[in-house]
Amino acid sequence: MSKPKVFITRQIPQAGLDLLKDKVDLEIWEKNEPPPYSILLDKVQEVEGLLCLLTDQIDQQLINQAPHLKVISQMAVGYDNIDINTATIRGIPVGHTPGVLTEATADLTWALLMAITRRITEAQEYIKQGKWTTWQPMGLLGADFVGATLGIIGLGRIGQAVARRGKGFNLKVIYHKPRRLYPKLEQELGVNYVSFEQLLKESDFISLHTPLTERTYHLIGENELKLMKQTAFLINTARGGIIDQNALCYALQQGQIAGAALDVTEPEPLPKEHQLLTLSNVIVTPHIGSASYQTRFQMAIMAAQNLLAGLQGQPLPNCVNPNIY
Ligand code: GLV
């Protein structure tokens, strides 16, 4: 019996490929860069399974040009690059990889928070440029954690993992999300629910953990930045589109807020000459929230398991649109 054809849009950790190699007829896009959209369009016409990444645009046109497609399996937790509605209408399940990347992403959030508040990258540059001559009583002073308030927008899996770290650092942690958590969970996490506006006004550090949707697109814009403290820092390890970057650049340049650390931007990568990259109170990293060995290994396994289930007509272990069954 012939094996189902599958296209994988980049090399993924071997653990995932090992699960697939005897069961499917595999084609992998071997280049470092994502396949161009035209190639993706071409490839999906033949395959039954697509294993894709957040860098691939899986839109209505693409899904509708895939007559044999039985499953889309994304190796990421976020899936804003995929037109879920069209996939659902076509009866195609979409898989993703929640859970396994929670701790790694929360760790990176914490690393960015510490790095921007204690000016680690700035200090590193200072040394590399040979500017450091002696210990200075007033040199490179940063923000204090003692008595500070961390505001978390979106308290799902990753937001909660960040809140737990906040508790460990004795921060006061407040949060906002559309649906308030149960009191017992709030208590366990040591978090207090506040309105969106209150969070913006009261937080010393704000960390974003919502998915990117129509509702959260540019959630943080000019008005929101104006409400923040001048001493506040903004951290984003979720999706670039949640922040209006022009408004952020302006706020940073005008001293409306103290700094920003962004693992995600819009677009990715930012053009080399982008204003954000010229500001000393900004850290930008290349979307590495889940980039730890074990995490990516687990993500590849999960993506392969979702793919295999879909090819066999079984419910995906982690399905974004389970209502199709
Ligand atoms: C990474 O951003 C992911 O969604 O997994």
pTM for the full predicted model: 0.97
Asked if residue 289 has its Cβ within 6 Å of ligand 1, the reply is: yes
Catalytic pick from 10, 119, 287, 296? 287
Cα–Cα distances (Å) from 179 to 182, 192, 194, 195, in that order, read 9, 13, 11, 11
CA of 290 to the centre of ligand 1 (A): 7
Atom of ligand 1 nearest to the CA of 97: 5
Are 146 and 246 within one domain? yes
Same domain, 84 and 127: no
**Annotation says 239 is catalytic:** yes
Reduced to 3 states (helix: H, G, I; strand: E, B; else coil), residue 132 is: coil
The pLDDT of residue 116: 98
119 tagged catalytic: no
Per-residue pLDDT tens for 113-129?
Answer: 999 999 999 999 999 99
Ligand 1 contacts CB of residue 54 (under 6 A): yes
Find the CATH number of the domain harbouring 265: 3.40.50.720
Count Cβ atoms within 10 A of the Cβ of residue 320 and give its class: 0-12 exposed, 13-18 middle, 19 or more buried: buried
The residue range of the domain holding 197 is: 102-284
Ligand 1 close to Cβ of residue 303 (< 6 A): no
* pLDDT digits 0-9 by tens, 268-311: 999 999 999 999 999 999 999 999 999 999 999 999 999 999 99
> Which is the closest atom of ligand 1 to the Cα of 96?
5
Q: Are residues 197 and 184 in the same domain?
A: yes
* Whole-angstrom distance, CA of residue 40 vs CA of residue 34: 9
Say if residue 226 is in the same domain as residue 304: no
**Which atom of ligand 1 approaches the CA of 76 most closely?**
5
User: What digits encode the pLDDT tens for the residues 42-97?
Assistant: 999 999 999 999 999 999 999 999 999 999 999 999 999 999 999 999 999 999 99
| Residue 132 and residue 183 in one domain | yes
Q: Is-contact 230 254, C-beta < 8 A? A: no
**Are residues 106 and 254 both part of a single domain?**
yes
Number of separate domains in the chain: 2
